[in-house]
Amino acid sequence: MISGKRVEVSVYQKPKKGNYQCGDSYFYTETDNEFVCAIADGLGSGEFAKESSQIVIEIIKSNIHATVEQLVKVCNSQLQGKRGAVLGILKLDFNSKISSFSSIGNIGIMSITNNKDKKRNIPNSGYLAGYHRTFKVMKQKLESGTNFIMFSDGVQDKELSQCFFTNKNVESIIRTYEQTSNKVRVDDTTLIAMRYVSESP
Cα–Cα distance for residue pair 189/92, rounded to 1 Å: 23
Residue 28 lies inside a defined structural domain of this protein: yes
CATH for 22? 3.60.40.10
The pLDDT averaged over each successive group of 10 residues in the chain (201 residues) is 83 82 90 95 80 92 95 91 90 96 93 90 89 90 95 88 90 92 78 86 48
What pLDDT is attached to residue 1?
Answer: 58
Residue 146 lies inside a defined structural domain of this protein: yes
First to last CA, the chain: 16
Its domain, for residue 127, covers 2-196
Question: What is the number of structural domains in the chain?
Answer: 1
Cα–Cα distance for residue pair 81/153, rounded to 1 Å: 24
Residue 21 lies inside a defined structural domain of this protein: yes
Residue 107 lies inside a defined structural domain of this protein: yes
CA 33 vs. chain centroid, Å, equals: 19
Q: What is the pTM of this model?
A: 0.92
Residue 155 lies inside a defined structural domain of this protein: yes
Burial class for 76, CB neighbours closer than 10 Å (0-12, 13-18, 19+): buried
What pLDDT is attached to residue 170?
Answer: 95
For 115-131, the DSSP string reads: T--EEEEPPBSS-BSSS
Residue 201 lies inside a defined structural domain of this protein: no
What pLDDT is attached to residue 70?
Answer: 95
For 51-79, the DSSP string reads: HHHHHHHHHHHHTTTS-HHHHHHHHHHHT
DSSP state of 15: P
CB atoms within 10 A of CB 18: 9
What pLDDT is attached to residue 199?
Answer: 66
